[in-house]
Structures are given as structure tokens and as C-alpha cells.
Structure 1
Amino acid sequence: MISLRPVFLPRQGIVYKAIRCRFNYLQNRACNRSVVTSTIDWKPIKTTHNPNEGPKNGSSTGKKVVLGLMFAMPVISFYLGTWQLRRLDWKTKLIASCETKLIYPPISLPKVFTVDMCEDWEYRKVKIKGHFVHEEELFVGPRVKHGEKGYLLFTPFIREDTGEKILVERGWIAEAKVSPDTRTLTHLSLPSGKDIELICIVRPPKKRGKFQWKQEDKESRLWQVSDIYDMAASVDCKPIHFQALYDMTNHASWMNNETESHEQNLLASIRHWVTGTKKIDIKSIADDDDSLAFTEWQFMKAGVPIGKTPTVDFRNSHLQYLVTWYGLSFLSTIFLIVALKKMWKGGVISQSQLKKEKLKHARKYT
């Protein structure tokens, strides 16, 4: 601490003048500290609010709306969570039922089979016998398989027992093989026999969604989505969706001797089946040998449709929705309890209570 007492030094010289200036500065500073600043606010804040007035209607209505929403949110979210719980139980039973149907052996399709029966027969394996109408092929897509662009091939099929025309989804075909002239293994890609037997699964026909593409060109045979009703109407057949199953076997019995050489078809089959073989003895292989198996790559190169793998395609996300709605109900309930506690403890003060507090505070200074 610097003392304010004068120091006895000679009055001549630079040191004496410096100390004298410092002494005068500190003395003036000490005098200024004794000045007391007034605490009176000479410029009070102006307001148009009158304490005697009650709350405004707008703010009161807004608080009521917010409080009503806070009460409604836990109830609504809990109801939606319970609804998703019922949906989860329904979807689980539906998937289990469809998976059980896939285990059953295939049976012959009844002669009388209507669209209303598709729901009960969904994912049921059935046998159909007849012939294809390749001139009326339809395509849905594009669809990508193994990194290659292609389409789903739908071909009308005329039943042998009833003569009615139905729509069969034969499977995926590469874009380069859309034209029938580019396909090989014709007894598999374009079977022309009259007694072809297929194993399919039944699917209920689905309509195009509101936000899905609609086919504007009626002359085109390409659809972006599987609109079974529209597709069936374009080829004049029943709107029943049959999906051919995944099958890589040769089906030598589908060969038609009237239109093509049996040995040429069998040779083409063996060339796709066997790789790295220089000579093939066709006579050593039985004419009705269906044990030959191909790969998907060989079918893609030959233009043979690749059928559907027998699996259930239903999505079951109801458990996630259930957890979301119940969690939202729990959190909104906590927020509501906290808000009510603040209101009861005075965290939210009414206008009358606020007026009393202001008057009580003002009496202390009167």
C-alpha cells in the first residue's frame, strides 16, 4: 500500500518532482472515492399495464389450449401404442399362417376359383396345367437383380381343365432378353407345349396406389407397378395373381417336337449346364431327364425368367411403432406432472396473487 505522507527529499531534482506528482494524483483519487452516487432511478420504465386488470383473453385461451394438449398427448399416444400392440399380434399370426401354408405340398387349383378366394389361399402352393400365350406378354419394372437391369415378366396362361385365362408372373428377365427373338433355351424361356404344368403361389390382386405411376399409354405393355386389375383387363383375363416359383431344373418334358428339334434343345440345355466340356454325348442322356440344374447366371444369359423364392414378403414393423408411441406417452406424462407441480407450488402465479405480492413489497417502503 502506498502511503500519502510527504517524503522529505530535496526540492530540486527530477525524483522530487515525480514523487510530488504521484502524491497529488493519489490525493485527488482518494477525494473522489468519498462521492456517493444516488440510487434513485430518475428515468423509470414506463408501462401501460395496470395491476388491477385481469389477464388478457388471448393469453388465457392459449394457456388453456396448451394445457389441454398436454393432457391429451399421453392419452392419445397410449391409445396408439395399444393399437399397434393389437396390430403386432395380428401381423405375427398372419405371417405364421402364411409360412405354414408354404410348407404344405402343392395341390391342384380348383376349377371354380374366384378373386374373393385369394385372401384365404394366399401363399398356398397350387398346380396349374395348360399353355402360355406368349404373344400377350406384359412387363413390370424396371427391377434390378444382381446389378443388372430387368423386368418382371407376366404371361397369360390358359388352363387346360376350364379354358379360362389367368395371369402368371413367371419371374425376372434381363432387359436384353425382353424380345423373344433374343432368348435361347426356348423350351424354358418360351415353352409352347399344350400340357405345361406349373407350381405357383396364390397372391391377392393389388391395385395401384394413389401416389404410384399410372400407365397413360394404353398401347404399351410396360407398367411401373404391378397393377393386376389393369394388367388383367388389357389381356382380357381374370384378375388373379399367380407367382411361378423358383425352379432351375431342365423340364425336358416341355419340349415341343412339332416346332423344334428335340436334340437341338437338349444340346442347348447341356451347353448352358456344363462348362469346360469339349464333347457332349447327347444320346447318353435320357430324353425325359429333368435332373439337370442351371444357375441364375445361365438363366439370365439365356433369357429364362427366374421365378420367386417361396418366402413371405410381409413387413412387420409394428414393434418399433409400439415402442415409439408408448415412449412418447411416458415422456409426455412426465412433462405434464412437472408442469402441474410447478403450478401447485406457485411456479405459475396468477394475476391476483401477483398483485398481492406487489402491494406487500410496496408497503415496506411507505
Structure 2
Amino acid sequence: MDKSRPLWRASVRKPPTRTLTTSRPPFICQQCLHPGPRKPLQPLLRRHQSNHQPADDPTFKSIVDNPPTLVRSGRKHNRYGLALLASIPLISFALGCWQVQRLTWKTDLVARFEDRLVRDPLPLPPQIDPDMIHEFDYRRVYARGVFRHEGEMLIGPRLFDGEDGFLVVTPLDRRGEFRGFQGNSTVLVNRGWISKEKAAQGKRREGLPTGEVVVQGLLREPWKKNSFTPENDPGRNLWHFPDVYQMAEHVGSQPVWIEETMAADLLMSLDRKDKGVPIGRPAEVNLRNNHVQYIFTWFSLSAATAVMMWMVVKKPVTRGRVGGVRRNTGW
């Protein structure tokens, strides 16, 4: 034993040194170990520019930098515009008053026609003055004569209960009733409606009476042509509108129009339709009277525009007050 070393030191052993190891090897950059040519900086610059915000641009302009344009500031109302706005309620009110007069006129006219319907029918004289027919419009009359079916005229197309058809107009020759009369006594009779399938005379033999007949109907004024209705073609016997004077000249009769009437019976109408017998009109006044709606429309428009006018002029524009703005689109 070495006497220079104490006993207690000789008995103590140093623990062996242990090296700490990990399961994952340390990271070593391969580019650092193998340096190559430097990569360009453009992808990095693009990445930087992609994150650039519009507000970072010193030339960026927003809606705050472009205030809206003033439409009116401190100006008076345009007198021409006020005059135009003021004329609308006045004109509408005048049209409403005119419709009130029209309503009174139409009501009196319908009452006069209905009074004529309840009177006994008059025998039709041999010669009739066309200028006096308006005094006997809707007057019930009867005439005796023979139908000239060779001069029959079909006016159409005309709808009846949603079905297409024609109006049958036939001259009524009355020379047999007025034998001593030297003038023209033939009149035009609107016999009524037939379906399109029965337009040919060969399909409606029962609807072509022969011999002397008595026709009861309404004496009517000549019809007024609509501007949208096509012109008639007498050469082809094509009629779109009952032009009484043109039709009378075509068949050689008086310009007198009689509408044959019948009782409003559904079963009778169906039977006539199947046999090809014209369906006459009922003895009633069929004038349209919509003037109450027109009165309400014009007076409502007058009131509405008057309120608009009052809202415009009740508070005149003062200096410094902005009446309106316009969006600025030049940015």
C-alpha cells in the first residue's frame, strides 16, 4: 500500500463518465455542407409584394378622398319644373270633372234606351231616312219579307262563349209587303251568331228559311269602325266589320241595320248551334259604362300630385342647405 495516499481516498472510486445520447441525430444543413450558387431573390420579393396592402400604397385613394358632388346647394326651385308639377293635379282634376259629366250623359242614354225597349214594337216603314235612325236607336221593330240568302254576308271572326264563329247578315226583301211602293224597301238583318263549322250554307240547311218570314229585332245606328280593325273586301265577300253603308251598297239595300232578338234561353241556343240556326241577341242594352272607375282614377291622381306639390314647396331651399348629392364615379 502506498503510504502517501490516505486510506479513505483509496476506498472511494470515481463513477465512470457516461455520455448522453439521443435517438435523433442532430440536424445538419446540407446546403451549408455543400454550398452552391446563390438563388435569385425574385421569389422572395414576390412573396413580400403579395402581402402588400392597398393602404400601404401612397398613391391609393378611397371614397374619403373623393367626396360626392353637390346637386343643389342654396338654389331656388326651378320655376318650369314647379309649373309642370302644378299642371298635373289641375289637368287630372279637370279630367275627373269631365268624366262626371260623361257619367251623367251615359246614365241618361242607357235610361232612354231601356225605356225604348219596354215599348211595343213598331212596324218598319218601307222607306227609312238614315239620318233619323239615331232617334230610334234600340227601338223594337218588326218587318215582313223574304230572306235573300244569295246575298248573305259573314262578319268575323266573332267569339261566342269562347268559341270562334261569324255574324250572319242577310238582306230582307220586303217588296211583297209593299207592292205599290216603287222605291227600295230591302233592309239588312243581323240574324245572329253561328259557329265556324257551320259557315258553309250546305251545313246549315235548317238555318236558311224560305218563304215569307217576320223578323223582330232592334233598330240600330250604323256601327263605328275601330282603327285596329282591318278593312273589308267586298270583292271577295270578306267582312271584318259591319260597315252598314258599304254592305248596303254591296247587296243593293237601304243602309238600315236590324238586329234580330231572341229570348235568353240556354237550351234553345244549344239547339240552334247544332242545327246551324243563327243565335240572336237578347233585347237588352249592352253599352259599357266604366266612367265611375275613370272618375276615381283621375281624382286620385289629382290628389296624389297635389300632395307631392305641397311637399316640394312647403319648405323652400335656404342658402347653405344641400338639396341632394350625386355619387362620384371618377376615381
What is the aligned partner in structure 1 of residue 130 from structure 2?
115
What is the aligned partner in structure 1 of residue 274 from structure 2?
301
Q: What code does the residue aligned with 2:310 have?
A: I
Mapped partners of 1:336, 1:307: distance in 2: 54
Q: What code does the residue aligned with 2:137 have?
A: E
Question: Is 2:194 the partner of 1:173?
Answer: yes
What is the aligned partner in structure 2 of residue 198 from structure 1?
215
TM-score, normalised to structure 2, is 0.68
- Higher helix proportion (structure 1 or 2): 1
Equivalent residues of 1:137, 1:154 under 8 A apart: yes
SS in 2 for 1:198: strand
Q: Deviations over 1:266-303 (max 9, x none)?
A: xxxxxxxxxxxxxxxxxxxxxxxxxxx97222211211
- Residues 131 and 123 (structure 1), Cα distance of their counterparts in 2 relative to 1, 3 Å cut: same
TM-superposed CA distance for 1:150, in Å, is 1.6
- Residues 46 and 128 (structure 1), Cα distance of their counterparts in 2 relative to 1, 3 Å cut: closer
TM-score, normalised to structure 1, is 0.62
TM-superposed CA distance for 1:113, in Å, is 1.6
What is the aligned partner in structure 2 of residue 80 from structure 1?
95
Q: Deviations over 1:172-223 (max 9, x none)?
A: 11222222222243xxx22221x321111011002422221112x4322232
Mapped partners of 1:322, 1:146: distance in 2: 31
Mapped partners of 1:48, 1:122: distance in 2: 67
What is the aligned partner in structure 2 of residue 233 from structure 1?
249
What is the aligned partner in structure 1 of residue 203 from structure 2?
182
Equivalent residues of 2:127, 2:185 under 8 A apart: no
Moved more, 229-238 or 324-333: 229-238
Mapped partners of 1:44, 1:197: distance in 2: 93
Mapped partners of 1:180, 1:75: distance in 2: 59
Match of 2:155 among 115, 140, 151: 140
Equivalent residues of 1:229, 1:239 under 8 A apart: yes
Question: Identity over aligned residues, as a percent?
Answer: 35
Equivalent residues of 2:264, 2:282 under 8 A apart: no
Q: What code does the residue aligned with 1:191 have?
A: P
Mapped partners of 1:89, 1:305: distance in 2: 36
What is the aligned partner in structure 2 of residue 261 from structure 1?
none
SS in 1 for 2:234: coil
Equivalent residues of 1:106, 1:126 under 8 A apart: yes
Q: What code does the residue aligned with 2:284 have?
A: T
Q: What code does the residue aligned with 1:172 have?
A: W
- Superposed counterparts of 1:63-74, under 5 Å: 63-74=78-89
What is the aligned partner in structure 2 of residue 39 from structure 1?
none
What is the aligned partner in structure 2 of residue 9 from structure 1?
none
Mapped partners of 2:285, 2:66: distance in 1: 73
Kindly report structure 1 stretches of 4+ aligned residues shifted beyond 6 Å.
43-49
Q: How many residues align?
A: 250
Q: What code does the residue aligned with 2:251 have?
A: V
Mapped partners of 1:83, 1:182: distance in 2: 51
* Unaligned segments of structure 1, at least 5 residues: 1-42, 250-292, 356-366
- Residues 150 and 117 (structure 1), Cα distance of their counterparts in 2 relative to 1, 3 Å cut: same
Match of 2:230 among 213, 216, 225: 213
Equivalent residues of 1:299, 1:306 under 8 A apart: yes
TM-superposed CA distance for 1:230, in Å, is 2.2
Q: Deviations over 1:83-124 (max 9, x none)?
A: 000000100111111111111111112344211112111111
TM-superposed CA distance for 1:47, in Å, is 12
Mapped partners of 1:213, 1:47: distance in 2: 57
TM-superposed CA distance for 1:340, in Å, is 1.6
Higher relative contact order (CA 8 A, sep 6+): 2
* Unaligned segments of structure 2, at least 5 residues: 1-63, 322-331
Root-mean-square deviation (Å)? 2.9
Mapped partners of 2:293, 2:107: distance in 1: 14
- Residues 128 and 207 (structure 1), Cα distance of their counterparts in 2 relative to 1, 3 Å cut: same
Q: Deviations over 1:29-53 (max 9, x none)?
A: xxxxxxxxxxxxxx9989999xxxx
TM-superposed CA distance for 1:248, in Å, is 9.2
TM-superposed CA distance for 1:304, in Å, is 0.9
TM-superposed CA distance for 1:227, in Å, is 2.2
Larger of the two Rg values belongs to structure? 2
Mapped partners of 2:204, 2:148: distance in 1: 16
Q: What code does the residue aligned with 1:302 have?
A: K
What is the aligned partner in structure 2 of residue 321 from structure 1?
294
